[in-house]
Amino acid sequence: MGKARINKRKPKREGKVVTVGKAEAVPPGRGATVKLKDGTEVALFNIGGSFHAVENFCPHKGYPLADSRLYGGIVECDWHGWRFDVRNGHCFTDPGCSIESYDVTIEDGWIKLLV
């Protein structure tokens, strides 16, 4: 599988809720890059109206997962096909390379991210 890369733009766990935008901006079956004020970012996905966030970085060679294709709850990296469950960060290709996942809630149409 090769050596995993380090994601320098992974949000730190601070236990805070951040409002990142309107839910209507991310249609079902799509992903979006969400940039936070400190320069970090996540990949946000809408699975049939249920929102999920993971780090926006494939541990294989760093491709942004928000730009990759979504199959149900699975995102498949566009570069070399590594697959991740966007609901919990599990990596199906190399379970030792699972990615960080972040809780998302929707309140009055606003997306709230727990980092």
Residues lying near ligand FES in the complex (CB under 6 A) are found at: 58, 60-63, 77, 79-82
Q: Which is nearer to ligand FES, 34 or 99 (CB)?
A: 99
Smallest Cα–Cα separation from 7: which of 59, 60, 79? 59
Q: Which is nearer to ligand FES, 91 or 111 (CB)?
A: 91
| Least separation in angstroms between CB 64 and ligand FES | 9
Q: Which residues of 55-80 are buried (b: 16+ CB within 10 A; e: fewer)?
A: bbbbbbebbbbbebebeeebbbbeee
Q: Which is nearer to ligand FES, 46 or 56 (CB)?
A: 56
